[in-house]
Amino acid sequence: MPAVSKGDGMRGLAVFISDIRNCKSKEAEIKRINKELANIRSKFKGDKALDGYSKKKYVCKLLFIFLLGHDIDFGHMEAVNLLSSNKYTEKQIGYLFISVLVNSNSELIRLINNAIKNDLSSRNPTFMCLALHCIANVGSREMAEAFASEIPRILVAGDTMDSVKQSAALCLLRLYKTSPDLVLMGEWTSRVVHLLNDQHMGVVTAAISLITCLSQKNPDEFKTCVSLAVSRLSRIVSSASTDLQDYTYYFVPAPWLSCKLLRLLQCYPPPEDGAVKGRLVECLETILNKAQEPPKSKKVQHSNAKNAILFEAISLIIHYDSEPNLLVRACNQLGQFLQHRETNLRYLALESMCTLASSEFSHEAVKTHIETVINALKTERDVSVRQRAADLLYAMCDRSNAKQIVAEMLSYLETADYSIREEMVLKVAILAEKYAVDYSWYVDTILNLIRIAGDYVSEEVWYRVIQIVINRDDVQGYAAKTVFEALQAPACHENMVKVGGYILGEFGNLIAGDPRSSPLVQFNLLHSKFHLCSVPTRALLLSAYIKFINLFPETKATIQEVLRCDSQIRNSDVELQQRAVEYLKLSSIASTDVLATVLEEMPPFPERESSILAKLKKKKGPGAVSVTELEDSKRESSELNGAGERGPDPSVMAASNASTPSPSADLLGIRSAAPVSTAPASAGSLLVDVFSEAGPAASSGAVNDDGFLRFVCKNNGVLFENQLLQIGIKSEYRQNLGRMYLFYGNKTSVQFASFTTTVSCPGELQTHILGIVEPLVEGGAQIQQVLNIECLTDFSDAPLLNIKFRYGGALQNLTLKLPVTINKFFQLTEMASQDFFQRWKQLSQPQQEAQKIFKANHSMDTEVIKAKLLGLGMALLDNVDPNPENYVCAGVIQTKSQQVGCLLRLEPNAQAQMYRLTLRCSKDSVSKRLCELLAQQF
Amino acid sequence: MRFLLLFSRQGRLRLQKWYTAISEREKKKIIREMTTMVLARQPRTCNFIQWKDLKIVYKRYASLYFCLGVEHEENELLALEIIHRYVELLDKYFGNVCELDIIFNFEKAYFILDEFLMGGEIQETSKQIVNRAIESSDMLQETMEEYMSKPAF
pLDDT digits (tens, 9 = 90+) for A584-620: 999 998 888 888 888 888 888 876 656 677 777 666 5
In whole angstroms, how far apart are CA A211 and each of A107, A172, A214, A452? Answer: 34, 10, 5, 51
What is the edge-to-edge ordering of all strands in the sheet holding B64-70? B13-18, B3-8, B64-70, B54-61, B48-51
Q: How far is CA A262 from the centre of its chain?
A: 30
Bridge partners of residue A586, in order along the sequence: none
Residues with Cβ < 8 Å from A735, sequence gap 6 or more? A825, A827, A894
CB-nearest to A126 from B93, B120, B140 is B140
A815-874 pLDDT, tens digit per residue, is 888 888 888 899 888 888 878 888 888 888 888 888 888 888 888 888 888 888 888 888
A56-98 pLDDT, tens digit per residue, is 899 999 999 998 888 888 888 889 889 988 788 888 999 999 9
Residue A651: per-residue pLDDT: 33
Chains A and B form CB pairs within 8 A to the count of 191
The Cα B89–Cα B84 span in angstroms is 9
First-residue to last-residue Cα distance in chain B: 39
The Cα A717–Cα A198 span in angstroms is 65
In degrees rounded to 5, what are phi and psi of residue B35?
-65, -45
**Statement: residue A637 has pLDDT above 50:** no
* Widest CA span in chain A: 103
Query: Which residues of chain A does CATH 3.30.310.10 include?
Result: 823-937
The Cα A463–Cα A167 span in angstroms is 57
**Residue A678 — very low, low, confident or very high, per pLDDT cuts 50/70/90?**
very low
Contact state of A308 with B28 under an 8 Å Cβ cutoff: no
- Tell me the helices (H) and strands (E) count for chain B, helix number first: 6, 7
Top CATH class of B3-149 equals alpha beta
Residue A790: per-residue pLDDT: 87
Contact state of B111 with A255 under an 8 Å Cβ cutoff: no
**Statement: residue A353 has pLDDT above 90:** yes
Q: HEC profile for A305-321? A: HHHHHHHHHHHHHHHHC
In degrees rounded to 5, what are phi and psi of residue A766?
-125, 130
Q: Which of A389, A315, A405, A327 is nearest to A364 (CA)?
A: A327
Q: Does A866 touch chain B (CB under 8 A)?
A: no
Third-level CATH fold of A823-937: TATA-Binding Protein (3.30.310)
**Residue A626 — very low, low, confident or very high, per pLDDT cuts 50/70/90?**
very low
**Residue A772 — very low, low, confident or very high, per pLDDT cuts 50/70/90?**
low
A154-197 pLDDT, tens digit per residue, is 998 888 899 999 999 999 999 999 888 888 877 888 899 999 99
| Torsion angle (degrees, nearest 10) of CA A265, A267, A273, A278 | 30
The Cα B43–Cα B37 span in angstroms is 13
| CATH code for residues A705-820 | 2.60.40.1230
The Cα A153–Cα A150 span in angstroms is 6
Residue predicted with more confidence, B145 or A77: A77
Sign of the C-alpha dihedral computed for residues A435, A436, A437 and A441 taken in this order: positive
**Statement: residue A668 has pLDDT above 60:** no
Residue B141: per-residue pLDDT: 57
CB-nearest to A246 from B120, B123, B127 is B127
Lowest mean pLDDT among A301-315, A475-489, A794-808, B73-87: A794-808
**DSSP-H helix ranges across A397-475:** 402-413, 418-434, 439-453, 459-471
DSSP reduced 3-state for A616: helix
Residues with Cβ < 8 Å from A516, sequence gap 6 or more? none
Bridge partners of residue A852, in order along the sequence: A917
Residue A2: per-residue pLDDT: 39
Q: Does A308 touch chain B (CB under 8 A)?
A: yes
Q: Tell me which DSSP letter residue A649 carries.
A: P
Chain B nearest-CA residue for A347: B46
Residue A9: per-residue pLDDT: 63
Burial of A807 (0-12, 13-18, 19+ CB in 10 A): buried
The Cα B112–Cα B134 span in angstroms is 7
First-residue to last-residue Cα distance in chain A: 57
Q: How is chain B split into domains, by residue range?
A: 3-149
| DSSP per-residue letters across A763-819 | TTEEEEEES---S-B-TT-EEEEEEEEEE-S---SPPEEEEEEEETTEEEEEEEE--
Most B CBs within 10 A among A20, A41, A89, hence the mutation to make, goes to A89
Contact state of A4 with B123 under an 8 Å Cβ cutoff: no
A687-696 pLDDT, tens digit per residue, is 333 333 333 3
What is the edge-to-edge ordering of all strands in the sheet holding A725-734? A717-721, A725-734, A737-746, A782-791, A765-770
**Statement: residue A675 has pLDDT above 70:** no
Q: What is the mean pLDDT of chain A?
A: 83
A319 near A266, Cβ under 8 Å?
Answer: yes
**Helix, strand, coil share (%) of chain A residues, nearest 5:** 55, 10, 30
What is the edge-to-edge ordering of all strands in the sheet holding A800-807? A752-760, A800-807, A810-817
In whole angstroms, how far apart are CA A785 and each of A717, A802, A812? Answer: 15, 13, 19
Residue A228: per-residue pLDDT: 95
Residue predicted with more confidence, A279 or A643: A279
Distance in Å, alpha carbon of A60 to nearest chain B alpha carbon: 8
Task: Tell me the average pLDDT across A792-806.
Answer: 86
Query: Which residues of chain A does CATH 2.60.40.1230 include?
Result: 705-820
**Residue A507 — very low, low, confident or very high, per pLDDT cuts 50/70/90?**
very high
Bridge-based pairing state of the strands B13-18 and B3-8: antiparallel
**DSSP-H helix ranges across A642-771:** 650-659, 683-688, 705-709
Contact state of B125 with A247 under an 8 Å Cβ cutoff: yes
Q: Does A174 touch chain B (CB under 8 A)?
A: yes
Q: What is the pTM assigned to this prediction? A: 0.67
Chain A nearest-CA residue for B43: A382
A523 near A545, Cβ under 8 Å?
Answer: yes
Contact state of A343 with B16 under an 8 Å Cβ cutoff: no
Residue A104: per-residue pLDDT: 58
Distance in Å, alpha carbon of A164 to nearest chain B alpha carbon: 10
Bridge-based pairing state of the strands A782-791 and A826-828: unpaired
Q: What angle do CA B6, B11, B14 make, to 5 degrees?
A: 35
